[in-house]
Structure 1
Amino acid sequence: MDGISAAASVITIVDASAKITSLCFQYLIAVKNARTDIERVSRKAGDITCVLLQIENLLNGQDAARLATTAGLSTALIRCLKELTELESKLELGKNRRPIRPFGMRSLQWPFTSTQVDKVVSGLEGYERTFTLALQVDQTGLTLGLDRKLTLVADDTQVIRQRIDLINLPIATSASYSSYAEQHNAQCLPNTRTDLLQTIADWATDKDGKSIFWISGMAGTGKSTIARTAAQSLAKAGQLGASFLFKKGEGDRGNASRFFTTIATDLVSREPSMLPSIRQALNEDPALPERTLSDQFEKLILEPLSGIKQARSHGPARVIVIDALDECEAEKDIRVILKLLARTKDVQTVPLRVLVTSRPELHIRLGFQAMSNGTYQDMVLHEVPRSTIEHDIRLFLIHELDDIQRKRSLPSNWPSEDQLQALVELAVPLFIFAATVCRYVNTRGGSPVDNLDKVLKYQKSTFSQIDRTYLPVLDQLLSEQEEDGKDMWLQNFQAIVGSIVLLQSPLSLVALARLLQKPQNKVQFLLDELRSVLSIPDDETVPITLLHLSFRDFLVDSGPQGKKLFCIDEKSMHERLVSQCFELMSAPNGLRQDICGISKPGILRREIDEVTIASKLPPELQYACRYWVDHLEHSQRKIEDGDETHLFLQKHLLHWLEAMSLIKEASQCVHLVAKLRATVAPSSTTCTDFVHDISRFVLRFVSMLTDAPLQIYSSALVFSPEASVARRIFVEQVQPRVTMLFGWETDWDACRNVFEGHTDSISAVVFSPDGQLVASASDDRTVRLWETATGQCSSVLQGHTGYIHAVAFSPDGQLVASASYDKTVRLWETATGQCSSVLQGYTGYIRAVVFSPEGQLVASASDDSTVRLWETATGQCSSVLQGHTGYIRAVVFSPDRQLVASASDDSTVRLWETATGQCSRVLQGHTEDISAVAFSPHGQLVASASDDSTVRLWETATGQCSSVLQGHTGYISAVAFSPDGQLVASASGDSTVRLWETVTGQRSSVLQGHTEDISAVAFSPDGQLVASASYNSTVRLWETATGQCSSVLQGHTGYISAVAFSPDGQLVASASGDSTVRLWETATGQCSSVLQGHTGYIRAVVFSPDGQLVASASSDRTVRLWEIVTGQCSSVLQGHTGYIRAVAFSPDGQLVASASGDRTVRLWETATGQCSSVLESKVTFVDSLAFSHDGQALHTNSFYIPLPSSLITTTYIQQKYLPCVITVKDQWITNYGQRLLWLPSEFRSDTLAIHKDMVCLGYNHGRVVLLKLQ
């Protein structure tokens, strides 16, 4: 971009910023409860304007040609203009979201939440920094002539940044083939598995080879050994990309949570060119490692590989080795992994291959079968020719037994050929048999000759191969025990080894002994005898694991009589484990409140030292917290009133939740409590109620629990309803002591969960057909999929470049369609979150999208006045339905798919034939825009809802209007039929939902209860009363002690914007949009005076310290002083040129300060009404104003103004005031800046008052909450 183009862009952005500032000013006039956010947006738009005006001066100067940096701002200027244009559009939309209210002052609704404003301001700050930096560079260059040097410095900086240390992704530390945990695990011996290994090598080097090679086989066929050997060979050949060896029950190796992050870390170490893309992805989303598998794969692997600039598509392939995929614990995750791995064939920059080994489980077979033709090749190990397997097992046995023979000084003819052949025949096709036999034969303290003979005794056919693998080992150990000690040995074996094979995650010797409450030396003594079947590290703090999963299969499968002594009764073992978990958690050094001794209720999880957590929650205690519910479930034991589980929850529920947060497992609590609900005995009514309440409790506060562990003892209890069982049991544990004096809920409301994550307004939400997912569409350009059971976000669907207005699930739930202002519809796969199609062709915003009943078509409606029908399979447009002359706001298929109905701003509904695309009916009668349309279940009626406040019912066959449903007094936004077609429901801007009978058209019910927003709250000086003002023109007085409403003050004819108590608490002043101030007696609720004189709405009111005067600030640009006794106006303070939004008296009452939109604060002498000083304001809008306690400065909502020394008198300094230490910021109540109490989303408000240790909050729909903090 040259300097002229840059200058033009700068001018355009300045104009856009000016429009935004103007719009913000309109919002500030009309909207009370978002003033801080409005001002932030306006101020930041103004800051950008200031910087760009300086740039414009440079670009128009004589040195414009030398401004290389500024002239090169093309991309930043374009992006900034785009964001400002979208911001302007959003502000314009907000002007039309609510009907106009009395006096025209509440027709605006601020369209952003505080979180959304944070994002807007952050984005604008980024552009401001970019422009400021460019300005500084060019100014410096012009001044010092350092253009070339600055360029060189920038180049060097880029090089340095590229050399910053590698990404710090969380990984499964022992999952790599070359990890410490895998170092002693076997690889294929020379001259074994040669054909198979050569096949792998040929596949890896064949440029036309398939992208995935799947090797499957039953337990013990050597899959893992092959995978390790292949990974080693590929690494030597320089072809290994990454490796991940799953292992069931071993933490992150047993699930997919760290699968793609581990693969990415491995890959980037071998393909450093991926690093910039990965780092950028992590900068944009630091929580990416915790996102869905699909998001991780896309951002950490696919995009970084595809973005490598120097492609080598014809070079050697990078191979990712994945072993034991069947040991990944979640079948859903396995299916997703397979679906994602199939996409590796699309990588063009680097040839990528994937080697997968697994058992041939059904869900894995189906996953591979779902891949497109030519994606994978496979090999089944137990179908390899027997002769090949015999050869390889023979070589393995010869190698291992020869080594034993040498080391143990055995005869050279041991073992004999017959013994060797017998072993081969016993082993085929299980390599695990051969490996286990060799370890057993070489057992310390035993004779290899005798041990081999014992193995060969198990040749009879009554034993399976797995039995023949492990029975010799265990029979030998049992036979070595004294006769009277065998029962004890078996008991210990059952307790210790049974626990090891059923643990959900492996434990070390130390942790296992503590969990089982057995002496460590006794546990170790037994385990030392089992080294041929267990991996027992020398380090007592390293987890003990099974050498092979088949040992677990052997122990839990009761077979022949000979093995029953060793079999584990899973139910009783799980029952024993859950009891041991309870004992450990309930012990004196177990779970307790504030277990880490932090004593800071608002501390965040990320602020707590990991070493402290590890010392207070050792591995065995963490295990008990995480897995006791799983053991309870597997035990099939029901929870009953007064039993062990019930008593544990009654005492330790909150302690358990705190611990789960500390070990970063808070989100799992939702799943675990759901399991608990399923295990409660139906007859146990007390337990049923308690666990149901726990479910609501956890669902409501899990997001808080994840971030702030100790808030479970404060916020969760304070904001739970009065009827909550958990609240009643644990309310005495509230720390710090916080009491809700009034405003609490009596019981859990209908809201089951709150989904938080979007960063902008949410425009649409819909359930999946099976009810397990919710899709939400947002102006943040994303669709999010949420699990209804847990409230967790399972996918973030990113790709749209404009606001998303509508979202829909396909009938089978496999696809999600989203419609956007970027003029596209996108189809997404729900399983992976991948975009399968982008449907393009519109020239206007798309406002509606819907699937046909059988899911083969998608209909979408646009502002370009067309409806388009798309084939879901191909993404092709099959029909363009034209005829409307206005925006189309809704579209729907008839139940039989034969018709499509569309509703438009041209006041018509059109019916279209799906097969031909022809318009069969035009339904006319509405007089305003039509916002919604629906077919009845039988398809014979169409209902349409309009801004003309009516619903019309139309006969599909004839197009005749059969009923006009009248009664709403506002626009109608939604309409729906009941499942039987007998009723129609309509929702309106008049705050009601109405039910209508379809046959008669008569109103069946009016569902209402919504009231107006709370605009202001204030405490009386003694804290015994709270006054709340509402947009419904009333003031209510509440007794703080009881929460009872003592008076309703009625008389204003406009909304009330401000309220204040007199110093003695006997009067309340209210300021209104009706241009009056009213004074009310608090004792009687009577209006004692109506102060009239302002010609604009009044934004602020305040009493003088002596209670003799009232000051009111108005949009008529004046402040008026009123004598309370007479109600007369004693002074009109004129001079401001902008609306006045705030007013305050000095502590001695001699001065009045007023703040205006003209960017000034004026000081007035109370006695004379003269302006004594004009102080410059840093911002356009000041919404709160107060003198400091010593009278030497003014405080506003955003800055501090020292007063001129000539205005400061000693009387100020002699005053003594206590500072206000309690504040409310974002989602926290703080004390001296320390987080104290987390506010749930529905308890956050901009309308608040603070008096000493009390906080009063006012909310939409008229609710007032009073909190007392001790």
Structure 2
Amino acid sequence: MSSPLPFHGSSAVDARGGTFTEVHRDQIVNYFQNDKMGLHKLLSPVHEAEYTRSENVARCLPCTREGVINEIKQSIDSNTGNARICWLKGPAGSGKSAISQTIAEWYAGKNGLLASFFFLRGAGNRSNITRFIPSLIYQLSLSIPKTKPLIERAIQNEPSIFQSSFQHQLRKLLVEPILAVRNPILATLMRKKSLLIVIDALDECDDKDPIAEFIQSVADIFQENHRLPIRILYTSRIEEHLRKKLEAPIVYPLNLEDFDAHVDIRTFFRSRFSIILQENQAMRSIALPWPSDADLDALVRKSEGSFIFANTLVNFVDDGTDLPHRKLQTALTVDAGLDVLYSQVLSAASHTKNVERVIGTIMLLNEVLPITSLARLLQLESADIIQALLGLQSILLIPSDDDQPVRLFHTSLRDFLTVQPRSGAFFVDPPPRHLCIVINCLKAVMIPPENVIFYDKEQKYAALNWCDHFLRGLTIGGDHLLRSQLGASFMSSIVNFASGPLDFWVNTVILDADLPAMLHTLALMLLRLQVS
């Protein structure tokens, strides 16, 4: 029987020079297990950001978006010209993520996908750059297995590599391993095809300056290495920090607004309404076709090329609050524009005492929480959460399992609700809502966990995020927020927290936090409190 592995159960160990130090996160291991979990534990990839993620994923229907998909493929597969990067740009809700998902699946089926990462605002590590490059590198080790020992060796030789510049990380962990296995892999790739990296929704990465630096680093890497058999597909809205970096000779731009989506949206409507008709026995006597061609034309015109509008409208028709053919008549009276549709859905929903609190919290949390955890954070029951969201199934994905989170169908809902001129009476005011979340978090971490020395679930979220919510609230709302009645409640909560035992909070921070970032946030928070 073999002896157990050294440091069994440790997440990160530095064994150089006979000094054994347990470290965490970006401080990198110098010891690798012989099993497949070694590199996985080291890099901690964000699997929920890959194209194979388990959530409800949008993809293009067959025979739709063919024009733009074919042009993307031509750009990726072409061995002529200087463009090594394809940038698909377009407004919110125009279908960029569905196209990138379809492209990723198509190239994966041809063994041509190297890696993928789908950013998503408000989804923890999917909304920041912390685990982005490690996730790409881990996928590289799976796509080209011969690179795995080279990646491990590079990290062993330079344990602090993830604290270096993006260009250095890419050179050592992506470029050099690929070029080192060029015989015979690289020669084959150069003759036949390039490997594709799909990076979706750059604009949903909260770290704007770092993501711009990453884009520049990739461009520099391509300029240095003309033999590198890689192509990249970026998608994003047109935002200034991205546009400055992506308007370059090495980038092939595609504007989704240049492709007529009306025929594809009509196909989408016909497909979804056909399913609704089949699944509703009460509609057996409805005259066919349903919807009529005239109604379908009206819906397509209202959509104005926006797939998220079309999807939200269909969800509204099929939300179960009335028979679909009746809801369709209401939908036909809605003016064009996503804001109008969001207002219509919110107006028709029930407004219980907890609805504003629940929706506001969901909009502003740094990552999604299961319904059970969200309820405990807000000191409610799971049933209260569900009741607060009744009638909102067309704009929120509400799971049947309380151990799963409520998700936004599209992040444009958050944009709508947090801008008062757009949302009006439904406005979620971020500064006071952030401070409310802080108070909920502080109450949560004052409850000792059972039978362990670390927090978990909503308490873990509270321990790691309350400082960030505090800073975001004061940054947007100003120090006068602390002089309000809500500010007084916060001061009372922070005093109670500081007066109690901090062991569980400290243990959780040491185990799970990005310590440099956490200490920086704490320092800024203390500074704001002193000024206030």
The amino acid that maps onto 1:454 is T
What CA deviation, in whole Å up to 9, does each residue of 1:651-704 have, x standing for no partner? Answer: 25854444311323332332212321442264x6xxxxxxxxxxxxxxxxxxxx
List aligned pairs for 1:871-890, cutoff 5 A. Answer: none
Name the counterpart of 1:240. Answer: 113
How many angstroms apart in 1 are the aligned matches of 2:390 and 2:237?
30
List aligned pairs for 1:207-246, cutoff 5 A. Answer: 207-209=79-81, 210-246=83-119
What CA deviation, in whole Å up to 9, does each residue of 1:624-646 have, x standing for no partner? Answer: 12221222233333388993265
How many angstroms apart in 2 are the aligned matches of 1:293 and 1:536?
38
Equivalent position SS for 1:213: strand
How many angstroms apart in 2 are the aligned matches of 1:260 and 1:289?
9
| TM superposition shift of 1:542 | 3.2
What CA deviation, in whole Å up to 9, does each residue of 1:183-240 have, x standing for no partner? Answer: x322111221111000011112111151100111111111101110111111122221
| TM superposition shift of 1:263 | 1.1
List aligned pairs for 1:4-83, cutoff 5 A. Answer: none
Name the counterpart of 2:436. Answer: 576
Compute the RMSD of aligned alpha carbons. Answer: 2.8
List aligned pairs for 1:53-132, cutoff 5 A. Answer: none
- Contact preservation (8 Å) 1:217, 1:381: yes
Structure 2 residue 471 is matched with structure 1 residue 633: yes
Name the counterpart of 1:452. Answer: 328
How many angstroms apart in 1 are the aligned matches of 2:300 and 2:120?
27
Equivalent position SS for 1:233: helix
List aligned pairs for 1:278-677, cutoff 5 A. Answer: 278-286=151-159, 288=161, 293-310=166-183, 311-312=186-187, 313-345=190-222, 346-347=224-225, 350-369=228-247, 371=248, 374-382=249-257, 384-385=258-259, 388-409=260-281, 410=283, 411=286, 412-459=288-335, 465-478=337-350, 486=351, 489=352, 491-527=353-389, 529-559=391-421, 564-587=424-447, 589=448, 612=452, 616-636=454-474, 637-638=481-482, 643-644=491-492, 647-648=495-496, 650-652=498-500, 654-655=502-503, 656-677=505-526
| TM superposition shift of 1:476 | 2.4
What CA deviation, in whole Å up to 9, does each residue of 1:279-320 have, x standing for no partner? Answer: 211332455456654443232212211222312222201010
How many angstroms apart in 2 are the aligned matches of 1:329 and 1:250?
10
| TM superposition shift of 1:441 | 1.0
Distance 1:276 1:634, change over 3 A: closer
Name the counterpart of 2:63. Answer: 191
Distance 1:250 1:165, change over 3 A: closer
The amino acid that maps onto 1:318 is L
| TM superposition shift of 1:586 | 2.5
How many angstroms apart in 2 are the aligned matches of 1:474 and 1:677?
39
Distance 1:255 1:634, change over 3 A: closer
- Contact preservation (8 Å) 2:60, 2:102: yes
Distance 1:391 1:231, change over 3 A: same
The amino acid that maps onto 2:239 is E
How many angstroms apart in 2 are the aligned matches of 1:379 and 1:236?
24
Question: Once the two structures are aligned, what percentage of the paired residues are identical?
Answer: 28
Equivalent position SS for 2:181: coil
How many angstroms apart in 1 are the aligned matches of 2:48 and 2:192?
30
| TM superposition shift of 1:554 | 1.7
How many angstroms apart in 2 are the aligned matches of 1:662 and 1:214?
38
Distance 1:304 1:536, change over 3 A: farther
How many angstroms apart in 2 are the aligned matches of 1:291 and 1:505?
27
- Contact preservation (8 Å) 2:464, 2:513: no
Name the counterpart of 2:5. Answer: none
What CA deviation, in whole Å up to 9, does each residue of 1:1078-1127 have, x standing for no partner? Answer: xxxxxxxxxxxxxxxxxxxxxxxxxxxxxxxxxxxxxxxxxxxxxxxxxx
How many angstroms apart in 2 are the aligned matches of 1:638 and 1:266?
46
What CA deviation, in whole Å up to 9, does each residue of 1:1176-1232 have, x standing for no partner? Answer: xxxxxxxxxxxxxxxxxxxxxxxxxxxxxxxxxxxxxxxxxxxxxxxxxxxxxxxxx
- Contact preservation (8 Å) 2:269, 2:310: yes
How many angstroms apart in 1 are the aligned matches of 2:75 and 2:104?
14
- Contact preservation (8 Å) 1:344, 1:352: no
With structure 2 as the length reference, what TM-score do the two structures score? 0.83
After TM superposition, what 4+ stretches of structure 1 lie above 6 angstroms from structure 2?
161-166, 639-642
- Contact preservation (8 Å) 2:128, 2:206: yes
What CA deviation, in whole Å up to 9, does each residue of 1:898-925 have, x standing for no partner? Answer: xxxxxxxxxxxxxxxxxxxxxxxxxxxx
- Contact preservation (8 Å) 2:85, 2:232: yes
What CA deviation, in whole Å up to 9, does each residue of 1:934-983 have, x standing for no partner? Answer: xxxxxxxxxxxxxxxxxxxxxxxxxxxxxxxxxxxxxxxxxxxxxxxxxx
Equivalent position SS for 2:206: coil
What CA deviation, in whole Å up to 9, does each residue of 1:360-408 have, x standing for no partner? Answer: 1110111224x5xx311111223x15xx221111111111112212222
**Residue 178 of structure 1: which of 24, 44, 52 is its match?**
52
With structure 1 as the length reference, what TM-score do the two structures score? 0.36
How many angstroms apart in 1 are the aligned matches of 2:458 and 2:34?
42
In structure 2, the gaps of 5 or more residues are: 1-15, 20-32, 475-480
Distance 1:399 1:339, change over 3 A: same
- Contact preservation (8 Å) 2:171, 2:221: no
How many angstroms apart in 2 are the aligned matches of 1:186 and 1:165?
30
Equivalent position SS for 2:421: coil
Higher strand share: 1
- Contact preservation (8 Å) 2:442, 2:494: no
How many angstroms apart in 2 are the aligned matches of 1:167 and 1:329?
27
Distance 1:539 1:294, change over 3 A: farther
List aligned pairs for 1:923-938, cutoff 5 A. Answer: none
The amino acid that maps onto 2:53 is S
Equivalent position SS for 2:349: helix
In structure 1, the gaps of 5 or more residues are: 1-117, 123-160, 479-485, 597-611, 685-1270
How many angstroms apart in 2 are the aligned matches of 1:186 and 1:267?
24
How many angstroms apart in 2 are the aligned matches of 1:654 and 1:577?
19
What CA deviation, in whole Å up to 9, does each residue of 1:587-632 have, x standing for no partner? Answer: 4x26xxxx97xxxxxxxxxxxxxxx45xx41221111122212222
Distance 1:263 1:474, change over 3 A: same
Tell me which moved more, 319-328 or 448-457: 448-457
The amino acid that maps onto 1:638 is L
- Contact preservation (8 Å) 2:61, 2:268: yes
How many angstroms apart in 2 are the aligned matches of 1:367 and 1:348?
19
Equivalent position SS for 1:243: strand
How many angstroms apart in 1 are the aligned matches of 2:363 and 2:169?
32
How many angstroms apart in 2 are the aligned matches of 1:289 and 1:447?
55
How many angstroms apart in 2 are the aligned matches of 1:290 and 1:525?
46
Structure 2 residue 109 is matched with structure 1 residue 261: no
**Residue 39 of structure 2: which of 157, 167, 171 is its match?**
167
The amino acid that maps onto 1:580 is N
What CA deviation, in whole Å up to 9, does each residue of 1:488-523 have, x standing for no partner? Answer: x1x321111111001112111111001100111221
Structure ranking higher on relative contact order (CA contacts 8 Å, 6+ apart): 2
- Contact preservation (8 Å) 1:315, 1:351: no
The amino acid that maps onto 1:357 is T
How many angstroms apart in 1 are the aligned matches of 2:218 and 2:364?
31
| TM superposition shift of 1:254 | 1.0
